[in-house]
Amino acid sequence: MARRIIIDSTTMKTINTLSLLLLLLIIPVLPMTAQEKKLFTLEDLNFGGYNYRNLQPENKWLTWWGDELIRTDVEACYTIDKKTGRETVLFTLDDINKWAGSNEDENRYVRHLMNATFPYADQPLVAVGNKQAYILVDFKKHQIVWQDSISGQDANDWNKTSRATAYVKGWQLYVTDAEGHKHQLTTDGNRETVYGKSVHRNEFGIEKGTFWSPDGQRLAFYRMDQSMVADYPQVDLFPREATYEPDKYPMAGMTSHKVTVGVYDMTTGHTVYLKTPVSKDTEAVISGTSADNLPAYFTNIAWSPDSKTIYMFEVNRDQNDCRLVSYDAVSGERLAELYRETSEKYVEPLHPIQFLPWDADKFVILSQRDGYRHLYLYNKEGQLLSQLTSGPWVVQEVLGFNEKQRSILITSNEANPIQHNTYAVNVKTGKRTLLDNGRGSHRAVPSTSGEWIYDKYTEPDVPRNIDIVNVKTGKGQRLLTAEDPWKDYQQPIFESGTIKAADGTTDLYYRMVKPNDFDATKKYPTVVYVYGGPHAHNVEAAWHWYSRSWETYMAQKGYVLFILDNRGSESRGRDFEQATFRQLGQVEMQDQMKGVEFLKSLPYVDADRLGVHGWSFGGFMTISLMLNYPDTFKVGVAGGPVIDWKWYEVMYGERYMDTPEQNPEGYAKASLLDKASNLKGRLQVITGYNDNTVVPQHCLSFLDACVKAGTQPDFFAYPGEEHNMRGHASVHLHERITRYFEDYLKLKIEN
C-alpha cells in the first residue's frame, strides 16, 4: 500500500531553493555572449557624457611628500607603504576642516582633498584650498600655519620658499608676501598691455607668465604690449543686444605684439626690465645681426640656483635663429650668449634649461640639432661638455633628477616610436637604465629625491597599471591593476601596424578599429580619422592603441575606422616633422593617400564608401582631401578647419609657412578657397561660433567660396563655443558627426 507524503508550502519553498542551488552548482556559469553584452552610447564614451567617468579605467590620485607616497582622495589622504602597497589614513577631510575651524557642512573651507599637495619634503604640511583661499595645514600640530585669499585672482603663482604669491587681478600684477602684505607691481595693465600671463599665444612651450626665483625673493614676469595688434571681432550673442568682445589676434605676416620681461625684487620693492636686444640701445650687443633678425620671442625662462641670473631663449621672427642668453637679475643687463642654434627651416625651443641639483655650474639643454631631440650638458659659461643621449629616437621629457645616482630621469621612445618609457641617464657615462617593463605608454613621476617613481602605464590590452619603482634597483611594487571597465560591453577590434610613407622608405604607424562582429567576407564603409599636424600624434602603444572613443561608437554602428600618423606629426625626429615646411597639407595628403591605397587593398573595405573626419588641423586635412581627391572621399566632416593659412596666427603660421609675402606659392597651394569648385561629395563644416584659435573667418570665407563656385557644403555652428566643444555640447557634436556619416555614407546614397 502506497504511503502519502504531505509537504506544506514552507517545506516546498525550501526544497525548491535547495534544488535551484544544486542546479547552479551543476551547470557551469557561462560568460556573456557578444549579443548579450551592452551597446555603448555617447553618454558612455564621450568626455561630456553622463556615464563617461564610470567607463574609465580605475585610477589612483598620487603625489609625493618627499619620498613618501601619498594617495589623495575626496575624503582623505593616505600614506602608501612602498614595499607592500598597504595604505594608512594620514588625515581626513573632516580633520582638515576641523583644524581650519570650518567643520560646518554649509561652510566647509575645503570641499575635497583630490588636489592636496605636500610642498615640503621635511615638514608635515599639506597645501589645500578652494576658489576663495589657499592654506597650509600642519597635520601633526593640527593647525593652519599660513593662508592666502585667492578670490578673483588670475594666474595665481605661489612660491613655497618665500610663501609669496604672484597673481593678476583686474589686469594688474600683484605680489602678496608671506605676512599678507599686498604689493601692486603695475598700474597700466589692460587688454592691450597684459602682465603676468602667457604670451606668444602659448607657443614655444609657454604656459604661464610669472617665474619665481629659487629663493622666492625675485619674480620674473612677462609684459605684453598688444596695442598694435588688430582686433578680431568676436561677438557675445547671448545678451538681449549682442555685445562686441574683440580678441587680439595677430595673423601671419601682420603686426605682432611686443614682449618684455620684468623682474620684481621683494627685498627692494623695485622692478627692472631685462635689456633685451629689442631695445635700440642694445642692438649692437649681437655682433653681425641686423635689426630684422633681432629676437621677437622670449621663452623658456629659467633661474640660476643662486637666484641671481635669468636665462631664456630668444628667437627671431623667422624662427630660424635661437639663442640662449643670460641676464643679471638685479640690473637687467645682458650678460652672455651661451648657446646658438640656427636652421634653414625653423628652431623651436620648448624646454627651459635645467641645472644639475648636485652641481650648480652645469645645466642640460634639450635640442634636436642632430636630427632628434636629445640631452646636452653645458657649463654655465656656455661650453658644451657632452651629448648625454643620442640615436634615432626622441627624449620626450625630463622628469627629474636622482642626486645620489647622479642621473637624469627621462621619458623617451627609444624602445619603439609609439611608446613612452622611463629611463635613468647617468650624467658621467651617458648609460641609460630602463625603469619600466619596456612596453606600452608610461607616465612616471619621481619623488623629491628622484630615488623613487610611481609609474602609471597602459598597454594596448592593459587599461591601467600603477607601479612604484625603486630607481636604484629597478624593482617595483604593483599598486593597481585596473579591470577592463568595458568588459560588459560589445567592444570593437583594435589593431595597429605600419605602412610606408609616400617617400617609399619612412614607416608610418596606423590604428584600425573594426566592428565587434567583424566579418572579413563583408564590405564595410570606412572612415579615415585624421589630424596630421605638428605637436600631436594619434597612434600610441596605449590602451586600445590610443583610440578615441568616438571610433568605438562608429565601429559599433558597422564602420571600419583608420587612423594614420603622417609625416609632420610629433616625436619622430626633426626631418620627419619638418618635411611639411612651407607646404602644409601637401606631404600630409600624400601620406594619407598611401593609407587609402592600403585600405583599398583590403577586401573588406568598401572603396565606394570612404569618408574622412578631423578637427582643427584635421579639419584642414579633411577638406583638403575632399577637394584634392574628390573621387575618393564620398563624405567628410571638418571641424574648426583652417581654410587659408594667411588667417592663422603669427607664431604657429610663420614657423611652418613663413609669411604670405615670403611664401606666396606655399600659401596658394595650401589654400582651400580656390578649390571649392572641386567639391563632389557631402561635406559638413562645423565650428565654434566664438572660436578664438581658428577664427570663424575661415569657415565663413569657405562658404562664400562655395556659393560662388556653386558647390553645396553643409554648415553647423555652436553658439558661445570656442575651438573645442565643452561639456555636454561635445556629446551633441559627436552625435551630429555620426549622423552625417549614417545619412550619407553608410547606405551608399547617391550624392
CA distance 292 to 285: 14
Q: Which amino acid is at 590?
A: Q
C-alpha closest to that of 651 among 572, 535, 532, 531: 535
Sign of CA dihedral 573, 578, 579, 585: positive
Cβ atoms < 10 Å from Cβ of 196 = 30
CA distance 188 to 195: 9
368-383 in b/e burial notation, b at 16+ Cβ within 10 A? bbeebbbbbbbebeee
Q: Give alpha helix (H) positions in 508-616.
A: 549-556, 574-578, 586-600
Instruction: Work out whether strand 560-564 and strand 524-529 pair parallel, antiparallel, or are unpaired.
Output: parallel
CA distance 452 to 475: 10
369 phi, psi to nearest 5 deg: -65, -25
Cβ atoms < 10 Å from Cβ of 241 = 6
C-alpha closest to that of 183 among 262, 259, 270, 261: 270
Cβ atoms < 10 Å from Cβ of 323 = 21
CA distance 683 to 712: 8
CA distance 577 to 617: 15
CA distance 500 to 505: 6
Cβ atoms < 10 Å from Cβ of 352 = 20
CA distance 168 to 182: 12
CA distance 576 to 580: 8
CA distance 185 to 573: 43
Q: Distance between alpha carbon 300 and the CA centroid of its chain, in Å?
A: 18
Cell 565606394 found at: 608
CB 532 within 8 Å of CB 569:
yes
Please, how many CA atoms are within 13 Å of residue 444, restricted to the half-sphere of its CB?
Answer: 35
Cell 601633526 found at: 140
Give strand ranges (E) for 93-230: 125-129, 133-138, 143-149, 154-158, 165-169, 172-176, 182-184, 193-195, 210-212, 218-225
C-alpha cell belonging to residue 97: 576642516
Instruction: Work out whether strand 133-138 and strand 143-149 pair parallel, antiparallel, or are unpaired.
Output: antiparallel
Which residues, other chains included, contact 228 with Cβ-Cβ below 8 Å and sequence gap of 6+? Answer: 255, 257, 258
Sign of CA dihedral 600, 602, 608, 611: negative
CA distance 534 to 279: 33
CB 357 within 8 Å of CB 407:
no
CA distance 465 to 444: 12
C-alpha closest to that of 713 among 623, 612, 620, 624: 623
The DSSP string of 251-304 is: BTTS---EEEEEEEETTT--EEE---TTSGGGGGGSTT--GGGSEEEEEEEEE-
* Residues carrying an active site annotation: 616, 691, 723
CB 251 within 8 Å of CB 650:
yes
